[in-house]
């Protein structure tokens, strides 16, 4: 070994002992005759002092040291002189008095300092990811990631789950995105597809009798990159046989509570409570979304009735078109100025609304009963007399000093816009503790969604979820009414994972495929393997796929998942360190029988 102590370990108990440490030079400071360096490794930082009276050779070598050189140092742990202690590091009461130093490797001047305090742009961070990952914060994040993965392994192993790896080179496994494909050299003109998830494989494993499977699985989805999406992500994938929806939910709830508590301790307040469960319909009704953030209230209220008799064209037109009027109350936001209300209008418009109506209440009245004309402002004030406003405020439980926000449109749009406003205002108005973690279940999703552009039914999640038994008849009469044993785990307004009880009857599976418009040959081609497996005794089964990167980022208090992925891609799906994707040689293309027809430069 190059070392017998880690840099972060020595403390006052080690005073007088001889140690060998190795690591990176974090900083060098020359103080007259003495040279100090901070030596860093994964465990922390140790101050090393080179005194020419202790070793002039070591002192001479130390005078050449530069940031990020890799060195090995032998010396004695001594107490720091009084007043020189540093409480912010674990080794702050001691230092290493160096007798010997060996330079193991030199370094160019790094493009940025190894510090958590500096701002670096993403492109540079990723182009020098090996340096970025040296930062103490990044080292902590990946240690946390390891810890969470181990907790998953232990928890599930204790409950009889088996980790099974499934292939990366496979065939298209549709989960709603495009496939990444890999050409086959041995089978010219044929391609593997990388799995969007191991969905069909884990279901086939259930047919094979494995009963409880899990995998920390890589999933590949060629999607247009939205904020914080990665072309590949890691999923905790699990599947169980002979289970009902509740069995899967309770298993995952136990696991997620266990991990969150192990990581956050008593800061995790939900630990001894059940996760709130909301049906899909209830979630949409109360929060306008199937990913509700339950850390705060501000629920959506339908106010079509209260606004049906105004003279406003905006409201009347929507109501005539069978739209709805709904609203939220932003507590204490009655003082919002033009700039702030404009910001809300912009957000509403970018979410799809044609406009946003607001009413601002001042604080000069004691209760809604006593509100007067001068106590509220609104761009639509001439249509909103005191009685109408009183009725609205009562229905919505608005108070003096609050703001009411109103959106009138078709129901889906109203819900989307208000739920975006709700999330935005919840954060702006500090309605919750940013550190709080609040999981919830949303269940009973519809099985299909109508695609207005393609004029056909699409699976709301994926094609393998089982219709609720009592809805089987609707498969033929009215697919839009079919709800499934399909559920999502959500946390703080984000989807953490999806799961379902699966279809295990080949005939129902074929029926679902046909509703989506798959022809017989297409079913054979894409899902033949699953139907075949199902015809040899498939047990009832169900499971979930849970985004691990998002979960880890949430527990770490990070907003972006790329912070917890060692080598993530940029927003444009590139890796600046490896410069991927990249061209391949003509020889490789020939071996693969591939001729490129590339778009013109300008089009590309």
Nearer to ligand ASP, 503 or 564 (CB): 503
User: Which one, of 293, 299, 321, lies nearest residue 395 by Cα?
Assistant: 299
* Cα distances (angstroms) measured from residue 392 to each of 31, 75, 142, 372: 72, 76, 51, 14
User: Which one, of 7, 4, 1, 37, lies nearest residue 23 by Cα?
Assistant: 7
- From the CB of 371, what's the least distance to ligand ASP, in Å? 49
Q: Identify the H or E element spanning 558.
A: none
Q: Which residues bind ligand ASP (CB under 6 A)?
A: 175, 197, 199, 462, 498-500, 543-545
Nearer to ligand ASP, 200 or 416 (CB): 200
Task: Say whether 486 sits in a helix, a strand or coil.
Answer: strand
**73 is written with which tokens?**
């140092």
- From the CB of 530, what's the least distance to ligand ASP, in Å? 13
CA 464: distance to chain centroid? 24
**479 is written with which tokens?**
């697919």
Q: Which residue is nearest to ligand ASP (CB)?
A: 545
- From the CB of 175, what's the least distance to ligand ASP, in Å? 5
- From the CB of 440, what's the least distance to ligand ASP, in Å? 18
- From the CB of 176, what's the least distance to ligand ASP, in Å? 8
Task: Say whether 194 sits in a helix, a strand or coil.
Answer: coil
User: How big is the chain, counted in residues?
Assistant: 604
Write down the H helix ranges in 213-305: 245-264, 280-287
C-beta neighbour count of 166 within 10 angstroms = 20
- From the CB of 418, what's the least distance to ligand ASP, in Å? 27
Nearer to ligand ASP, 174 or 568 (CB): 174
Nearer to ligand ASP, 404 or 501 (CB): 501
Nearer to ligand ASP, 159 or 273 (CB): 159
Nearer to ligand ASP, 378 or 498 (CB): 498
- From the CB of 441, what's the least distance to ligand ASP, in Å? 14
d(CA 503, CA 463): 9
- From the CB of 253, what's the least distance to ligand ASP, in Å? 16
Nearer to ligand ASP, 197 or 554 (CB): 197
Find out whether the peptide bond into 581 is cis, omega within 30 degrees of 0: yes
d(CA 70, CA 30): 19
Nearer to ligand ASP, 493 or 543 (CB): 543
DSSP state of 429: T
Nearer to ligand ASP, 21 or 238 (CB): 238
- From the CB of 380, what's the least distance to ligand ASP, in Å? 43
User: Which one, of 397, 391, 364, 359, lies nearest residue 376 by Cα?
Assistant: 359
Listed in sequence order, the residues at least 6 apart from 85 whose beta carbon sits closer than 8 Å to its beta carbon are 92, 93
């Amino acid at each position: 070994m190059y070392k017998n102590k880690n840099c972060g370990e020595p403390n006052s108990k080690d005073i007088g002992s001889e140690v060998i440490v190795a690591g990176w030079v974090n900083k060098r400071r020359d103080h007259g005759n003495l040279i100090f360096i901070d030596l860093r490794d994964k465990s922390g930082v140790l101050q090393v002092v080179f005194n020419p009276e202790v070793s002039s050779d070591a002192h001479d070598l130390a005078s050449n040291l530069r940031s990020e050189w890799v060195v090995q140092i032998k010396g004695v742990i001594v107490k720091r002189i009084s007043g020189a202690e540093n409480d912010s590091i674990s080794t702050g009461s001691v230092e290493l008095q160096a007798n010997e130093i060996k330079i193991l490797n030199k370094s160019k001047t790094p493009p940025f300092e190894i510090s958590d305090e500096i701002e670096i742009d993403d492109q540079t961070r990723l182009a020098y990811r090996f340096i970025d990952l040296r930062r103490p914060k990044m080292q902590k994040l990946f240690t946390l990631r390891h810890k969470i993965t181990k907790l998953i392994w232990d928890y599930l192993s204790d409950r009889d789950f088996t980790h099974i790896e499934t292939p990366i080179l496979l065939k298209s496994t549709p989960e709603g995105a495009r496939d990444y494909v890999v050409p086959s050299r041995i089978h010219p003109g044929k391609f593997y597809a990388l799995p969007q998830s191991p969905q069909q494989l884990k279901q086939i494993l259930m047919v094979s009798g494995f009963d409880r499977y899990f995998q920390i699985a890589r999933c590949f989805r060629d999607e247009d990159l939205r904020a914080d999406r990665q072309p590949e992500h890691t999923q905790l994938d699990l599947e169980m046989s002979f289970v009902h929806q509740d069995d899967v939910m309770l298993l995952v709830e136990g696991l997620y509570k266990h991990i969150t508590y192990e990581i956050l301790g008593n800061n995790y307040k939900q630990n001894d409570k059940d996760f709130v469960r909301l049906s899909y319909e209830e979630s949409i009704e109360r929060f306008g979304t199937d990913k509700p953030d339950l850390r705060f209230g501000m629920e959506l209220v339908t106010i079509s009735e209260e606004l049906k008799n105004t003279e406003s064209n905006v409201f009347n037109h929507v109501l005539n078109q069978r739209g709805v009027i709904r609203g939220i109350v932003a507590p204490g936001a009655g003082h919002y100025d033009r700039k702030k209300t404009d910001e809300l209008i912009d957000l509403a418009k970018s979410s799809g609304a044609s406009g946003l109506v607001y009413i601002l209440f001042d604080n000069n009245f004691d209760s809604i009963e006593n509100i007067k004309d001068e106590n509220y402002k609104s761009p639509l004030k001439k249509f909103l007399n005191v009685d109408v406003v009183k009725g609205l405020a009562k229905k919505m439980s608005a108070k003096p000093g609050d703001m009411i926000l109103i959106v009138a449109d078709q129901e889906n749009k109203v819900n989307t816009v208000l739920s975006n406003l709700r999330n935005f205002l919840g954060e702006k108005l500090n309605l919750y503790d940013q550190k709080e973690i609040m999981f919830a279940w949303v269940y009973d999703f519809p099985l299909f969604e109508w695609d207005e552009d393609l004029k056909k039914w699409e699976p709301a999640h994926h094609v393998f979820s089982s219709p609720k038994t009592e809805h089987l008849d609707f498969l033929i009469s009215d697919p839009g009414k079919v709800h499934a044993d399909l559920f999502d785990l959500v946390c703080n307004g984000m989807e953490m994972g999806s799961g379902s009880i699966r279809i295990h009857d080949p005939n129902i599976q074929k029926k679902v495929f046909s509703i989506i418009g798959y022809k017989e040959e297409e079913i054979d081609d894409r899902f033949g393997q699953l139907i075949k497996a199902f015809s040899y005794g498939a047990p009832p089964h169900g499971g979930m796929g849970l985004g691990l990167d998002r979960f880890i980022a949430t527990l770490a208090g990070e907003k972006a998942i790329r912070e917890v992925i060692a080598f993530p891609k940029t927003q444009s799906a590139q890796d600046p360190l490896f410069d991927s994707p990249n061209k391949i040689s003509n020889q490789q293309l020939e071996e693969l029988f591939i001729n490129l027809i590339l778009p013109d430069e300008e089009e590309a």
